[in-house]
């Protein structure tokens, strides 16, 4: 066992003495040592309960003959970080999480790992670490939050909360009504209740084969989540025994399965950052262009919030991720021969699975749309591409042409929106918010929610080299690459320039002739970095394009 490096032989007596200082017995050191990576903290609602998940995981490990050893991973609450400098520190934690987990696992020579994440960057960060370390690993997330309930019985969620601010600013909601949303949008622990980034990545972890059934959908408050955690603890011992490793599971075909599931579920656009980054750690390059190829043949089967009025708890009730995967197999859209963390193939996992409600998971022959939930657009504004969650775009905005309203940071844009300076037909452009230019590639949930909350969701588009929360809906186009700080065309857009968006045809064009653009480029000087010290300054020097997953070089 790997742990023999710290537990066996006379030369390891000093190492054992330190284990004894921790209270471990000689008998426990004879068993496989399983690292339990728990991201519990007291600032993220999706992580406040992970100590209970960890206890259940450790019970499962002990029941199956292993010795659990818990250590922490960090996590940021994107909602609390939203709309200020804190959001610059969200995406960048993905690499911190991967690096610190690698350091702990290598330093202490664990035989296997159980990852206990839940929210946005914690899940991909730990998947990256799993791929990099390539020792037997399995995931058990904390589970989704329940939807909230308003006094009149309507269900609500975090995306409604952000849009309510825009409605309040527009005079469409009173202060009392805003407070009602505030008090009811997030009623329990767990990752926010729609198909936002956290739940997207937890569902995709299940779909790619790194977690047991229900990982993406069993609500955080259900005791079934604790049973899942115990079974996960038991299953890591099987993976260690059979030496089934992450790269045996996360193959190129498995990533294509995950992309197909992504399209069917209508996941967050952040998956287009995280899947390539995880694949990169596996030695696999996922092309931006592959997304459209998979989307073109993969129907969108779910309209979970913010695209619709159903929630992750509803998806769980009708069969969960496996039921969606089962629908995809009816058209041969998944490779079902692949090994998973269950020790069985995808086909074996899906035996007997049924879709229990065709209103929540549309049958493959009656989808919401014949194409997937995400589209990659390319053109003169984004030569390397940009991303839109087309499943959450109003039909009236699938094709749109309008004048650019240009802002060099999120704060300036949100002020203009709240002051009523953005009108129907406009195309809001927010730049210098990319991975390098931000630095940190902030989410633009505040401006997109303001646009929708003020009643402009059917008439205004927003384009940025930053990114979006999974809670964003509307014609919100992010990850524009190359970003402005790298001299991408978005840096040369001027107020009033015409921008043409055609989502069905995957194009985005800046209607300015090449000579004019060349003249603007010749005069362009990249602004000074907003942050010049600390981790963000180091991150800005190493980070790559969003089109490559914003991985570090």
Q: Is residue 201 within 8 Å of 123, Cβ to Cβ?
A: yes
Task: Using pLDDT thresholds of 50, 70 and 90, give the confidence band for residue 470.
Answer: confident
Tens digits of residue pLDDT in 229-279: 999 999 999 999 999 999 999 999 999 999 999 999 999 999 999 999 999
d(CA 365, CA 323): 15
- For residue 102, with 0-12 CB atoms within 10 Å meaning exposed, 13-18 middle and 19 or more buried, which class applies? middle
Q: Is residue 78 within 8 Å of 120, Cβ to Cβ?
A: yes
d(CA 75, CA 82): 14
- For residue 51, with 0-12 CB atoms within 10 Å meaning exposed, 13-18 middle and 19 or more buried, which class applies? middle
Query: In sequence order, what are the residues at sequence separation of 6 or more whose Cβ sits closer than 8 angstroms to the Cβ of residue 243?
Result: 136
DSSP tag of 388:
E
Q: Is residue 473 within 8 Å of 448, Cβ to Cβ?
A: yes
Task: Return the pLDDT at 129.
Answer: 98
Side-chain half-sphere exposure of 325, counting CA atoms within 13 A:
31
Q: What is the pTM of this model?
A: 0.96
Query: In sequence order, what are the residues at sequence separation of 6 or more whose Cβ sits closer than 8 angstroms to the Cβ of residue 508?
Result: 377, 378, 379, 380, 381, 382, 386, 463, 477, 499, 500, 501, 502
What's the average model confidence in pLDDT over 386-399?
95
Average of per-residue pLDDT values in the chain: 97
d(CA 257, CA 263): 10
The helix-helix angle for 271-281 and 288-297 (nearest 10°) equals 120
- pLDDT at residue 382 tops 90: yes
Task: Using pLDDT thresholds of 50, 70 and 90, give the confidence band for residue 287.
Answer: confident
377-548 has the same fold as 31-146+188-349: no
Tens digits of residue pLDDT in 29-55: 999 999 999 999 999 999 999 999 999
Query: Which has the minimum average pLDDT: 248-252, 333-337, 446-450?
Result: 446-450
Tens digits of residue pLDDT in 125-147: 999 999 999 999 999 999 999 99
- pLDDT at residue 334 tops 90: yes
CA gyration radius, the chain: 23
End-to-end, the C-alpha distance of the chain in Å comes to 32
Task: Return the pLDDT at 530.
Answer: 87
d(CA 59, CA 67): 10
CA-to-CA dists, residue 437 to 274, 353, 537, angstroms:
19, 46, 10
CA angle 83, 129, 316 (to 5 degrees): 65
What's the average model confidence in pLDDT over 199-215?
98
d(CA 264, CA 373): 6
Q: Is residue 119 within 8 Å of 144, Cβ to Cβ?
A: no
Q: Is residue 212 within 8 Å of 57, Cβ to Cβ?
A: no
Tens digits of residue pLDDT in 93-119: 999 999 999 999 999 999 999 999 999
Candidates 210, 34, 218; CA nearest to 139 is 210
Which residues belong to the active site? 469
Task: Return the pLDDT at 239.
Answer: 98
d(CA 536, CA 239): 37
Task: Return the pLDDT at 93.
Answer: 98
Candidates 459, 441, 458; CA nearest to 551 is 441
Task: Return the pLDDT at 459.
Answer: 97
What's the average model confidence in pLDDT over 519-532?
93
Please give the structure tokens belonging to residue 271: 């998956």
Superfamily classification of domain 31-146+188-349: Response regulator (3.40.50.2300)
- pLDDT at residue 184 tops 90: yes
Task: Tell me the CATH architecture of domain 377-548.
Answer: 3-Layer(bba) Sandwich (3.50)
Task: Return the pLDDT at 288.
Answer: 84
Query: In sequence order, what are the residues at sequence separation of 6 or more whose Cβ sits closer than 8 angstroms to the Cβ of residue 384?
Result: 288, 378, 481, 482, 488, 545, 547
Task: Using pLDDT thresholds of 50, 70 and 90, give the confidence band for residue 471.
Answer: confident
d(CA 115, CA 127): 8
Please give the structure tokens belonging to residue 408: 């060099």
Query: 128-142: string of b/e by CB count within 10 Å (b at 16+)?
Result: bbbbbbebbbbbbbb
**H or E stretch at 476:** strand 476-481
Q: Which residue shows structure tokens 């909601």?
A: 173
- Per the rule left: phi > 0, alpha: psi between -120 and 50, beta: everything else, 92 is alpha
If you count DSSP H runs as helices and E runs as strands, how many of each does the chain have, helices first? Answer: 22, 14
Task: Return the pLDDT at 506.
Answer: 97
- Ordered by start, the domain boundaries in the chain are 31-146+188-349, 148-184, 377-548
């Amino acid at each position: 066992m790997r742990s023999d490096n710290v537990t066996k032989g006379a030369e390891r007596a000093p190492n054992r003495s330190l284990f004894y200082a921790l209270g471990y017995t000689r008998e426990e050191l004879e068993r496989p040592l399983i690292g339990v990576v728990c991201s519990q903290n007291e600032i993220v609602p999706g992580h406040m309960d992970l100590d209970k998940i960890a206890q259940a995981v450790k019970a499962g490990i002990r029941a199956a003959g292993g010795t659990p050893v818990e250590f922490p991973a960090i996590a940021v609450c994107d909602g609390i970080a939203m709309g200020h400098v804190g959001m610059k520190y969200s995406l960048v934690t993905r690499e911190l999480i991967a690096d610190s987990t690698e350091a702990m696992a290598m330093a202490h020579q664990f035989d296997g790992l159980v990852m206990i994440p839940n929210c946005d960057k914690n899940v991909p960060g730990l998947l990256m670490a799993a791929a990099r370390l390539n020792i037997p690993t399995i995931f058990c997330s904390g589970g989704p939050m329940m939807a909230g309930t308003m006094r009149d019985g309507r269900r609500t969620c975090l995306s409604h909360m952000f849009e309510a601010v825009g409605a309040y600013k527009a005079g469409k909601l009173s202060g009392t009504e805003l407070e009602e949303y505030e008090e009811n949008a997030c009623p329990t622990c767990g990752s926010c209740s729609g198909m936002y980034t956290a739940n997207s990545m937890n569902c995709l972890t299940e779909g790619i084969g790194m977690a047991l059934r229900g990982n993406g959908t069993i609500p955080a408050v259900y005791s079934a989540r604790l049973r899942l955690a115990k079974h996960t603890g038991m299953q890591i011992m099987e993976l260690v025994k059979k030496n089934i490793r992450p790269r045996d599971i996360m193959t190129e075909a498995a990533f294509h399965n995950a992309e197909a599931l992504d399209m069917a579920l209508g996941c967050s656009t952040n998956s287009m950052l995280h899947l390539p980054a995880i694949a990169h750690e596996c030695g696999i390059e996922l092309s931006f262009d592959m997304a459209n190829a998979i989307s073109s043949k993969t129907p969108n089967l779910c309209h979970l919030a913010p695209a619709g009025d159903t929630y992750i708890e509803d998806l769980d009730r009708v069969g969960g991720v496996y039921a969606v995967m089962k629908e995809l197999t009816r058209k041969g859209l998944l490779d079902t021969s692949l090994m998973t963390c269950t020790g069985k193939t995808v086909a074996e996992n899906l035996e007997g699975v049924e879709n229990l409600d065709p209103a929540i998971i549309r049958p493959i022959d009656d989808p919401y749309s014949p194409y997937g939930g995400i589209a990659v657009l390319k053109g003169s504004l984004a030569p390397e591409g940009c991303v839109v969650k087309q499943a959450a775009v109003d039909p009236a905005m699938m094709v749109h042409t309008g004048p650019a309203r240009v802002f060099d940071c999120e704060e300036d844009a949100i002020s203009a929106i709240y002051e009523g300076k953005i009108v129907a037909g406009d195309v809001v452009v927010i730049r210098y918010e990319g991975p390098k230019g931000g630095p940190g590639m902030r989410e633009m949930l505040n401006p997109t929610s303001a646009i929708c909350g003020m009643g402009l969701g059917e008439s205004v588009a927003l384009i940025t080299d930053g990114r979006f929360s999974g809670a964003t809906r509307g014609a919100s186009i992010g990850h524009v690459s190359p970003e402005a700080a790298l001299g991408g065309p978005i840096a040369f857009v001027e107020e009033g320039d015409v921008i043409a968006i055609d989502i069905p045809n995957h194009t985005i064009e800046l209607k300015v002739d090449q000579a004019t653009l060349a003249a603007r480029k010749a005069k362009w000087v990249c602004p000074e970095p907003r942050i010049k010290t600390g981790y963000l300054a180091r991150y800005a020097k190493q980070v790559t394009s969003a089109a490559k997953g914003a991985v570090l070089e």
